[in-house]
Amino acid sequence: MAYPDGKRATLGWRDVVRKATLAAGITRRGARGNWDRWGYLFIAPWLAGFLIFTAGPMLASLYLSFCKYDLYELRWVGTKNYEVLLTRDPLFWKSLTNTAIYVLFSVPLGLTGSLLLALLLNQKVKGIALFRTLFYLPSLVPAVASALVWLWVFHPEAGILNYALGWFGIAGPQWLQDPRTALVSLILMSLWGIGGARMIIFLAGLQGIPDEQYEAASLDGARGWAVFRHVTLPMLSPTILFNLVLGIIGSFQVFTSAYVMTNGGPNNATLMYVLYLYNNAFRYFKMGKASAMAWILFVILLAFTLIQFRHARRWVYYEGGESD
Amino acid sequence: MTSGGAIKRALVFVALCVGAAIFSVPFLWTVSTALKTNQQVFAVPPQWIPNPPQWGNFRRAWTELPFATFVLNTVTITAIAVVGQVATASLVAYGFARFRFRGRNFLFYLMLSTMMLPAQVTMIPVFLFWRELRLIDTFAPLTVPAYFGGGAFSIFLLRQFFLTIPRDLDEAAMIDGATPFCIFHRILLPLARPAIVTVVLFSFLAHWDDFMGPLIYLNSMERYTVSIGLRMFQDMFGTQLELLMAASLVHVLPTVVLFFVAQRYFIKGVALTGLKG
Amino acid sequence: MDRRDFLRRTLLAGGGSALAATAGCGMRFQDERDDGRTTIRYMAWGNPEQIAVEREIIRAFEARHPHLRVRLFMVPGSAYADKLQLMLASHTAPDVMRADHYYFPALARKEYFLPLEPFIEREPPGFLDDFVPIAIEEGKWRGRLYGLNVLFGAVMIYYNQDLFAAAGLPDPYELNRQGKWDWQAFLRAARKLTRYENGRAVQFGTNMVTWPLYASVIWNFGGEITDPGITRMTMGNDPGAIAGMQAYADLRWKWHCSPTPAESALSAFTFESGRLAMHWGWAGESPRFRRNIKSFRWDLTTTPSGPAGNFTVVKGNQLCIYRESRHPNEAWEFVKFMTGPEAELLLCGKLRRAVPTRRSVLNDPRYLEADQPPYHTDIFLESIERGRTLPIDWRYQEWSQAFNSALETLFNVNEKDAAAALADASERVTRILAGEEGF
């Protein structure tokens, strides 16, 4: 660092780095360009990890999707896997439909629910920490125990859901045992997670909105709903986008609940896409077919995400002035 | 949110109570079942508070399998991984949020896309990779990846969060000649505390609950984690719900405690977020 | 946060990764100390008692062979198949492993195991004679022997003697001795032993087991599951199979003497609870019943015969040697010991975890004598003698899944009758066996 009197102390490592960067960089964009190059350094850990742990396996699975591989012999078959999946495999479409229905309902409902809960839990009420913990509890219970709890909740006779419905004089259905209601049961189950990760993220987002914004709004005479619509929602929009994108990506890959509780039944009513993929990979030893399924899902999700991000320009507001 | 009138507060409180009651019922049932005998579990009508409570269930759950070892292993793996995840994820998120370098958008979508491919298909190639390094049956495959960005989820989360922080402070610091590292740890990190705490929490949960990872990479029982132990327990005592629930509670307890403790930082974060214009 | 914090964080991160690396490398096979002994790795699943007995067997083995050490590692049973397959595919499999017969053909086909004939030839002649032939047949793939049978046994019926006595019903074990334990007798008992109170079931006569434990019902009504070469499922057009399947499903939907899936969820009607009079199960459930049942008398009988046969379902698990094992001869010594008379007496006699595969043990008074239930040890013998193996081939995992899905319309929701469900199932399974969309 140069001292105010112009003298220089011994070169610190910062100086070395800065000098090196300056020397290496071609300042087409001037000082800004140099500055931006730091970005490469910061994302380097991820990039390295990606190249080592992810890129290779991803490419390997892409290659496998064009092969027939049962963990023993490998044979190139071109697009046969894709052809079979898309035209001759009824379970493929069944699992895709099941998953699409699941996503269609659980994502919007879950998102709204989480947001409402986060708003509710953002109050400075006594014991708020306890309340937050109680709402978050369902997400903390591990999958194994959670499955048992839910089997109990949905139990047609001894379960609390039908018991509660009985109060209103409604005879509850067979839930998980009936192919018509099994999927609905899983969707309902996903709603219990609205107190979970998504809500925490919304909470963090809400806490990140500076009080000044609200003060400015109230000075302008805004109240209640208007405040929500013009201050909270825009400031929260990056978080909403985050939860939306990840919600869709995550819901499409729903696996554990179906795997532990119903194993895809009854009669494939809860056969989710990734569960069918898993069966193909590890139970039937059809790694090629499973890889093809994975890449089909990948394309679907990529398309969804790109559409969302493109559309996001219209409604997402970044205080940091950043847009894609 | 600014606090409203007393009525509003009361309504909020009531809503909280009702909601909390509904949400905690499954958990309370777990606790209740854990304290019952096998006959009481299916008694109709269901008994909520077993009498006398079978505390012995917990002791059995703890001692039937070497849970102490499992817990120690899980704590080790989780601690090492969480540190790495938080440190590297925040660095990478900063890179994506604050710098406009060539290929940034492409790389960002690339990173996101890693979440779109189901883990089941990359499991075997990754396993073979670790096998080549002769690190199967060690903790390395479960901890080292956390030091390389720690997963797209954390990076994405922190990046979104960093984007909500105005650039004014950055620019001011830049003019003063601060290096990017400086800006990162003096300005952005303190402001992102709620998000950092969130990442710590999720990272902890993910590693604490991880089943597939330890299953495929660990062979010796001395190295098993709690999630494998719980599955073994389920295989052995599956028909005895009361024991299974007790074991599950043992598994869940640290996460509940951690969550409760982490609450304070959410509130603290508000105080530090105040920006001057 | 200032520079100190930052430095601390960097150090933490750096130290952490160093720690991760060392923790990783350092905690390797600590017990492969240099003491001159050859280590054989052995993989299995099991409950605590069984593992304790296996450790006892291992200790006896190590005492017999001081230059060898066996390292047992356990994997949860529900994840065992996945883990085994992964280890085999990645060349990290142990020297000796137990493989459930459900997936043994699939693995044997991929040449993961060493054929055992060369080892057997070096043994004294007549080595295989002591074994029950059906147990040996199971371990063969394409005519060569790849595994010796362990945890062998048949599906039998555990019954609650007190409930039978209280209902005034003849004892099923006695009926079986007289040759009168047929489907009608079984059905009569199941119906009489089902009780409802206030419209709610409090006791059921029998459980309904999953495939393939009820295969004997099909055989005993004259049906066949597949053709001999396992290329087609023939049940759709098989009147015997249809009759058998319908009789079985009727237990639940017509006679209501078996709980529905909803009713049996969460283990509400277990045999141990005393709310189930008859339980179809394997020999391996005896240790658990011994441990948990103290309040009523219980014992064993065979599964019922039918109008056209008196078969029982027999299945075991194969103990195999990894093809790439570096100590095949030592591994063979261990396999030999594990299936030897001493080990079988311990595991099957003392623990009743399985049925022995050796005739000498089956007839040994030390095996036949019992100081704890089940006392009817001759049922083990009889079930083996009447036993038939299942048509399990290398595609079993896939076609059994399709089969079960198709039958859910019959068993779970009673939407179709046996004929329709079987027609559907047979069509799906045959397609898979023909290797069509089973691609």
User: Would you state the structure tokens that stand for residue A169, as one six-digit string?
Assistant: 């004089």
C239 touches chain B (CB under 8 A): no
Over range A63-81, report the average pLDDT: 88
Q: Which chain B residues are closer than 8 Å to A118 by Cβ? A: none
Residue B276 above 50 pLDDT?
Answer: no
Per-residue pLDDT tens listing for chain C (439 residues): 345 555 555 555 555 455 544 444 444 434 445 577 889 999 998 877 788 888 999 999 999 999 999 999 888 888 898 889 888 888 889 999 999 999 999 999 999 999 999 999 999 998 999 999 999 999 999 999 999 999 899 999 999 999 999 999 999 999 999 999 999 999 999 999 999 888 778 899 999 998 999 999 999 999 999 998 889 999 999 999 999 999 999 999 999 999 887 777 667 788 988 899 999 999 888 888 988 888 999 999 999 999 999 999 999 999 999 999 999 999 999 999 999 998 998 888 888 888 899 999 988 888 888 888 899 989 998 999 999 999 999 989 889 988 988 888 888 778 888 999 999 999 989 988 887 654 5
If asked whether residues A211 and A226 sit together in one domain, one would say: yes
Give the distance from residue A72's alpha carbon to the nearest chain C alpha carbon, in angstroms.
Answer: 6
If asked whether residues A63 and A209 sit together in one domain, one would say: no
pLDDT of residue B272: 37
Q: Which chain B residues are closer than 8 Å to C204 by Cβ? A: none
Let me know: does C45 contact C98? Beta carbons within 8 Å.
yes
Measured distance CA(C336)–CA(C324) in Å, rounded = 19
Give the distance from residue C13's alpha carbon to the nearest chain B alpha carbon, in angstroms.
Answer: 6
Residue A115 above 70 pLDDT?
Answer: yes
Domain housing A147 = 82-315
Q: Which chain C residues are closer than 8 Å to B63 by Cβ? A: none
Cβ-nearest to A125 among B16, B91, B174: B16
Of B26-30, B220-224, C106-110, C297-301, the one with minimum mean pLDDT is B26-30
Instruction: Give the torsion sign (CA, A162, A166, A167, A168).
Output: positive
Cβ-nearest to B135 among C12, C24, C77: C24
If asked whether residues A35 and A113 sit together in one domain, one would say: no
Mutate which of A157, A181, A260, A287 to test chain C, going by most C C-beta atoms within 10 A? A157
A53 touches chain B (CB under 8 A): yes
C contact chains, 3+ CB pairs < 8 A? A, B
Q: Give the pairing of strands C68-74 and C38-44.
A: parallel
If asked whether residues A71 and A120 sit together in one domain, one would say: no
Domain stop point among A81, A110, A136: A81
A21 touches chain B (CB under 8 A): no
Position C392, amino acid: I
Strand partners, C321: C96
The DSSP line for A247-315 is HHHHHHT--HHIIIIITT-STTTT--HHHHHHIIIIIS--HHHHHHHHHHHHHHHHHHHHHHHHHHHHH
pLDDT of residue A158: 67
If asked whether residues A109 and A23 sit together in one domain, one would say: no
Q: Which chain B residues are closer than 8 Å to A61 by Cβ? A: 117, 121-122, 125
pLDDT of residue C173: 94
CB distance C413–A70 less than 8 Å? no
Interface of B with A in 246-275 (CB under 8 A): 248-249, 251-252, 255-256, 259-260, 263-264, 266-267, 269-270, 273-275
CB distance A283–C398 less than 8 Å? yes
pLDDT of residue C273: 86
Reduced to 3 states (helix: H, G, I; strand: E, B; else coil), residue C97 is strand
Which DSSP symbol is given to C111? Answer: T
Cβ-nearest to B138 among C9, C13, C28: C28
Confidence of residue A294 (pLDDT cuts 50, 70, 90): very high
Among B113, B118, B122, residue whose Cα is nearest residue B145: B122
CB distance A40–B12 less than 8 Å? no
If asked whether residues A269 and A127 sit together in one domain, one would say: yes
Q: Is residue A216 part of a domain?
A: yes
Which is more confident, C3 or A95?
A95
Domain stop point among A46, A81, A116: A81
B187 touches chain A (CB under 8 A): no
Residue A26 above 50 pLDDT?
Answer: no
Q: Which chain A residues are closer than 8 Å to C438 by Cβ? A: 284
Mutate which of A76, A177, A259 to test chain C, going by most C C-beta atoms within 10 A? A177
B24 touches chain A (CB under 8 A): yes
pLDDT of residue A74: 87
CB distance A70–C437 less than 8 Å? no
Q: Which chain C residues are closer than 8 Å to B92 by Cβ? A: none
pLDDT of residue A277: 92
Mutate which of A83, A160, A175, A267 to test chain C, going by most C C-beta atoms within 10 A? A267
pLDDT of residue C318: 95
Q: Which chain B residues are closer than 8 Å to C6 by Cβ? A: 181, 185
pLDDT of residue B82: 93
If asked whether residues A46 and A23 sit together in one domain, one would say: yes
Give the distance from residue C105's alpha carbon to the nearest chain A alpha carbon, in angstroms.
Answer: 13
If asked whether residues A158 and A235 sit together in one domain, one would say: yes
Q: Is residue A323 part of a domain?
A: no
Q: Which chain B residues are closer than 8 Å to A289 by Cβ? A: none
CB distance C23–B139 less than 8 Å? yes
State chain A's mean pLDDT as an integer.
81
Let me know: does A242 contact A201? Beta carbons within 8 Å.
yes
Over range B79-88, report the average pLDDT: 93
pLDDT of residue C30: 42
pLDDT of residue A109: 93
CB distance C23–B138 less than 8 Å? yes
CB distance C19–B80 less than 8 Å? yes
Q: Which chain A residues are closer than 8 Å to C412 by Cβ? A: 177, 179, 265-267
CATH code for the part of the protein at B63-273: 1.10.3720.10
Among B119, B164, B106, residue whose Cα is nearest residue A309: B106
Let me know: does B162 contact A17? Beta carbons within 8 Å.
no
Domain stop point among A25, A56, A81: A81
Measured distance CA(B22)–CA(A229) in Å, rounded = 29
The angle that helices A90-120 and A233-252 make with each other, rounded to 10 degrees, is 150
Where do the H-state alpha helices sit in C363-438? 365-368, 378-385, 396-411, 418-433
Among C209, C173, C212, residue whose Cα is nearest residue C314: C212
Instruction: Give the torsion sign (CA, A107, A111, A117, A122).
Output: positive
Which is more confident, C144 or A257?
C144
Q: Is residue A322 part of a domain?
A: no
Out of A260-269, B59-68, B182-191, C161-170, give the one with best mean pLDDT: C161-170
Which DSSP symbol is given to C295? Answer: S
If asked whether residues A204 and A63 sit together in one domain, one would say: no
Which DSSP symbol is given to C170? Answer: P
Where do the H-state alpha helices sit in C254-395? 261-264, 286-292, 328-338, 341-344, 359-362, 365-368, 378-385
Out of A67-81, A161-175, B46-60, C239-253, give the one with best mean pLDDT: C239-253
Model ipTM?
Answer: 0.79
Cβ-nearest to C13 among B44, B87, B239: B87
Residue A56 above 80 pLDDT?
Answer: yes
Confidence of residue A151 (pLDDT cuts 50, 70, 90): confident
Contacts of B127 (CB under 8 A, 6+ apart): B136, B216, B217, C86, C90
Q: How far is CA A198 from the centre of its chain?
A: 9
pLDDT of residue C24: 42
If asked whether residues A268 and A140 sit together in one domain, one would say: yes
pLDDT of residue C31: 44
Which is more confident, A249 or C263?
A249
Q: Give me the number of domains chain A comprises.
A: 2
Q: Give the count of Cβ contacts less than 8 A between chain B and C.
A: 112
pLDDT of residue A31: 52
A76 touches chain C (CB under 8 A): no
Measured distance CA(C278)–CA(C298) in Å, rounded = 10
Rounded to whole angstroms, what are the CA distances from C247 to B112, C305, C410?
55, 13, 12
Does the N-terminal peptide bond of residue A238 adopt cis geometry, omega within 30 degrees of 0? Answer: no
Measured distance CA(A302)–CA(B213) in Å, rounded = 26
CB distance C262–A155 less than 8 Å? yes
CB distance A39–B96 less than 8 Å? yes
Position C167, amino acid: A
If asked whether residues A105 and A74 sit together in one domain, one would say: no
Among B104, C111, B75, residue whose Cα is nearest residue A36: B104
Domain ranges of chain B: 63-273
Let me know: does A42 contact B99? Beta carbons within 8 Å.
yes
pLDDT of residue C314: 94
Q: Give the pairing of strands A74-76 and C68-74.
A: unpaired
pLDDT of residue A144: 62
Let me know: does B226 contact B65? Beta carbons within 8 Å.
no
